[in-house]
Structure 1
Amino acid sequence: MNTNRKFFDPPKVLVSGFALIILVGAFLLMLPTATVDGKGLPFLDALFTATSATCVTGLVVVDTGTTFTLFGQLVILALIQVGGLGFMTFATLFAFLLGKRISLKERLLLQEALNQLSIEGIVRLVKRILVFTVVIEGIGGLLLAIRFSFDMPFWKAVYFGFFHAISNFNNAGFDLMGEFRSLTGYVDDPVVSLVVPILIILGGIGFIVMNEVYEYRQTSRLSLHTKVVAITTAWLLVASMALILLLEWNNPKTMGPLSLSGKFLSAFYQAVTPRTAGSNTLNIPDLTQPTLFLIVFLMFVGASPGSTGGGIKTTTFTTLLGAVWSQIRGKEDVILFRKRIVYDTVYKSLTVTMSGLFIVMFVTMVLTITESGKDFLMILFEATSAFGTVGLSMGLTPELSPLGKAVIILTMFAGRVGPLTIAYAVTLRRQPDPFRYPKGKIMIG
């Protein structure tokens, strides 16, 4: 029994599951039918692309639109969908279709995968997630298809519309526009510049929040989690949009030539996409350094728990801000919306943040060695983008050395699965100490 419990450890299953999906995806992308030249991708490039798609990052070493055949693009799209919703969600979907009952073990896996506090109502939540996904991606795909139909043949527009809707709702950022352009050709287009960011926001706030908002008419209540996610997301969006407008308004390479509406649309898009989609309508290398540093910060914070995005998450960021504010005011408890945050949550927030900072710093240091001669901000930007599973790049990704690619692959994987989940997966035993040490004091500050 003990052996079975060790084998069935949710963090281990999740880490192994994501790794297996990536390897299968890499193998499929190596097939001759996956690429236009009929040769397939080399193993490292295939592994990089499969990891980026499964971890819904969007960093690419080859251009998606011009390198891959329809088969290769559909493989990437499938990896994005499975990676965004989680392979356990899809396993549950197949169980539903086969009429299978969801076992306790599967419910525990879903709890870990969806970052839930309990297994109560977990199956109902998965059903809602699938419905939300179909509806949101369907509406977004339809709107984008209509817009693209003015620029390309009808069926190509339909395919492009749904590809970009799925990619951005899952916060992946892969695009088919060619030549690493992303959506820069639609910088002042109101349809693309509003529909895509809305898809990103909906994918990034998390399915728990969506579900509570959906049930609000019956319950007339929102949890503390939903309130924190909503307020933090709104504040980050408004503040970052205002700063981007201020910093880029007269930049001749970005917003300078745009109309008034184009400036606001592009600022809105660039404020949303670092959280954590990766598509862009302004050319990233042309942004000013203060804007690039702001984007680094936004990428590190990322989306919200239980979403398709990465980063340390909005709730982690707000909890730490609450802890700092409480300390400044001389208060013992962290209070958010008149609720006391338990110490376990504060400690976990600190652990997640420090783990993320360590990963970004370490990866940045390694890349300064493997990619010597490259600008430091470009390297920091790439490392943070990989950890936050964002996909924005200043142009370094296609030029990465083999070792640099391997480092970014591991970083994307750690960012998607989560540093804590990986730590739990490799830890042999996790149980509280049977005793407590005496208190000790050290000077701080």
Structure 2
Amino acid sequence: MLRSKYQMFADSLSENVFKTKTQANPIMLVVLAYLLLIVIGTALLSLPQAASRPISLIEAFFTAMSAVCVTGLSVVDIPSTFTHTGLWIIVVLMQFGGLGIMTASTTLILLAGMHPGFSHQSVFLSEFTQEGNIDAGRILRAIIPFTFGLELIGGTVYFTQFESMEMYDRVFCSIFQAVSSFCGVGFTLFPDSLVSFQYNPIMNITTCILVLAGGFGFLAIAELRYLFDFKHKEVRRLSLHTRIATYGTFIVIGVSILVFAFTEHSNLFSGHTFSENAQSVLFMAFTSRTAGLNSVNIPDLTQASLFFFIIIMFIGANPGSCGGGIKITTAAVIGLLGFNRLLGREKTQVMGRTIPNSTIDKAIRIFVVAIVVIGTATLILLNTEIPSGSRYAADSGPFLKILFEVVSAYATCGLSMGLTEELSTVGKIVICIVMFIGRMGPLFLISAVAGKLQDTAYYAEEDIMVG
């Protein structure tokens, strides 16, 4: 009887909270949830117990925004500014931001024995899969153990490398670094990021694995996990999404290795052994797309390397992951579109399949929005961060520095050439907006595409000259 009453209450609560009678915009729920978490994080980081010195509201807000948006840019020195209480708050913000608000809320709903409404579930699925017929609970049961299990393994390995620390600091630093690496945030408790571990193979390999897993995409990982059917002793066929995500990821990493080896062979890698250089180039290739962790001093890199950093940060990670950028699959679709058009094909084809026009439209919209946001933010910062009438007005140096910062913020990467701490108040606000758009951008586009399209086509055609 009690169970029946509880179930009736749970069903009623689920229906009232998660199902709306009117057509609500589910994307707005995600946006508001992220904003609420950022506001709560800002308030908590502003508490006297959270910081070792008084910090301004904009500093607390920037740190919370960077943690929730899994970016890693910071206007303060994280380990010296925040107490252990503040650092634990940052860990929680990173974890919630990495997995996503919808994951956490759906977990609580399932644990309470309730079922999410259709709009809530559709938003959750849009973050982790391109199909709409997959059970959210099944996805959660795959995501949560995988995430915490991998972070636990990574934290254990990190623990073995922090022997010089006191026990509490050693445990906490291991947890902090594991969460930061997997979620691709880029925060560390070391003043030089991971430069002091540049030639530590255990640290490098562990970090690369965590970053790769966190940015690979949960759907692709789930498919690869069950690639081999042990019952029938056969290899299952992977979806086109997983194949493109997998091939694209390792193509980007492979090209990055070659480019960094070429651009830094007479600069960063000069005078070092092959083993040391291999560790440095592999670390950059694996982490530079979305993690924000660095084992080399970024400003010391060549202009060619910095420009290539901008390109791969812009591309980013895979959909449904902790990473940002326009996503590897988006870049692949745009590249395949151009390749097929060059061959005179009307359809975009790859691996014996034709990519739907709706997917191509989404990819183009994502690309266009990214270019507009990055271009606008860069133009604003060029006016706010360079003193009027200074010698920098005719110098191209600050342009690369500012563009690097903006792309890093949009791609939620977190790498910087040292501009972040020098930003003006306006510059900090602009970067916060870019970080938030970079984290939310795909959801806005899904919302726009999901809406009913009005038939406003004009049937009178007229050609124009192009090219």
TM norm structure 1: 0.93
The one of 186, 199, 203 equivalent to 1:192 is 203
The separation in 2 between residues aligned to 1:236 and 1:410, in whole angstroms, is 28
Which range is displaced more, 105-114 or 79-88? 105-114
**Deviations along 1:179-219, whole A, 9 cap, x unmatched?**
xx100001111011111011111111100011101122237
Q: How does 1:53-68 map to 2 (within 5 A)?
A: 53-68=67-82
Is contact 1:15–1:422 with CA below 8 Å preserved after alignment? Answer: no
The one of 163, 187, 191 equivalent to 1:174 is 187
Structure 1 match to 2:13 = none
Please identify the structure whose Cα radius of gyration is greater.
2
Structure 2 match to 1:306 = 320
Is 2:295 aligned against 1:281?
Answer: yes
Is 2:221 aligned against 1:210?
Answer: yes
The separation in 2 between residues aligned to 1:369 and 1:119, in whole angstroms, is 48
**1:401 aligned partner, one-letter code:** S
**1:173 aligned partner, one-letter code:** G
Distance 1:177 1:397, change over 3 A: same
Distance 1:330 1:264, change over 3 A: same
The separation in 2 between residues aligned to 1:379 and 1:136, in whole angstroms, is 35
Give secondary structure in 1 for the equivalent of 2:379.
Answer: helix
The one of 40, 43, 47 equivalent to 1:27 is 43
Is contact 1:58–1:278 with CA below 8 Å preserved after alignment? Answer: yes
Structure 2 match to 1:382 = 405
**1:379 aligned partner, one-letter code:** I
Is 2:106 aligned against 1:120?
Answer: no
The one of 68, 73, 80 equivalent to 2:87 is 73
The separation in 1 between residues aligned to 2:49 and 2:415, in whole angstroms, is 28
The separation in 2 between residues aligned to 1:440 and 1:314, in whole angstroms, is 35
Structure 1 match to 2:355 = 341
The separation in 1 between residues aligned to 2:466 and 2:136, in whole angstroms, is 43
Q: How does 1:404-423 map to 2 (within 5 A)?
A: 404-418=427-441, 420-422=442-444
Is 2:26 aligned against 1:10?
Answer: yes
Aligned residues: 435
The separation in 2 between residues aligned to 1:183 and 1:233, in whole angstroms, is 23
Cα displacement (A) at 1:335? 1.1
**RMSD over equivalenced CA pairs, Å:** 2.0
Distance 1:295 1:435, change over 3 A: closer
Cα displacement (A) at 1:94? 1.7
Distance 1:115 1:193, change over 3 A: same
Distance 1:193 1:429, change over 3 A: closer
Is contact 2:68–2:94 with CA below 8 Å preserved after alignment? Answer: yes
Cα displacement (A) at 1:424? 6.7
Structure 1 ranges of 4+ moved more than 4 A = 3-7
**Identity rate, percent:** 35
Structure 1 match to 2:103 = 89
The separation in 1 between residues aligned to 2:108 and 2:74, in whole angstroms, is 30
Which range is displaced more, 298-307 or 369-378? 369-378
Structure 2, unaligned stretches of length 5 or more? Answer: 1-15, 230-234, 387-391
The separation in 1 between residues aligned to 2:328 and 2:348, in whole angstroms, is 16
Give secondary structure in 1 for the equivalent of 2:228.
Answer: helix
The separation in 2 between residues aligned to 1:213 and 1:429, in whole angstroms, is 29
TM norm structure 2: 0.89
Cα displacement (A) at 1:354? 1.1
Is contact 1:146–1:158 with CA below 8 Å preserved after alignment? Answer: no
The separation in 1 between residues aligned to 2:310 and 2:251, in whole angstroms, is 17
Is 2:329 aligned against 1:315?
Answer: yes
Is 2:336 aligned against 1:330?
Answer: no
Q: How does 1:41-56 map to 2 (within 5 A)?
A: 41-56=55-70
Structure 1 match to 2:252 = 236
Structure 1 match to 2:178 = 165
**1:235 aligned partner, one-letter code:** I
**Deviations along 1:273-323, whole A, 9 cap, x unmatched?**
222010100000000000000000000000000000000000000011101
The separation in 2 between residues aligned to 1:154 and 1:190, in whole angstroms, is 23
Cα displacement (A) at 1:259? 2.2
Cα displacement (A) at 1:5? 5.8
Is contact 1:145–1:159 with CA below 8 Å preserved after alignment? Answer: no
The separation in 1 between residues aligned to 2:451 and 2:220, in whole angstroms, is 30
Cα displacement (A) at 1:101? 2.8
Structure 1 match to 2:275 = 261
Structure 2 match to 1:433 = 454
Cα displacement (A) at 1:135? 1.1
Give secondary structure in 2 for the equivalent of 1:335.
Answer: strand
**Deviations along 1:216-237, whole A, 9 cap, x unmatched?**
2237121100000110110110
**Deviations along 1:162-182, whole A, 9 cap, x unmatched?**
21111110011110012xx10
The separation in 2 between residues aligned to 1:317 and 1:171, in whole angstroms, is 20
Is contact 1:141–1:162 with CA below 8 Å preserved after alignment? Answer: yes
Cα displacement (A) at 1:267? 0.5
The separation in 2 between residues aligned to 1:408 and 1:115, in whole angstroms, is 29
The separation in 1 between residues aligned to 2:135 and 2:151, in whole angstroms, is 24
Give secondary structure in 1 for the equivalent of 2:416.
Answer: coil
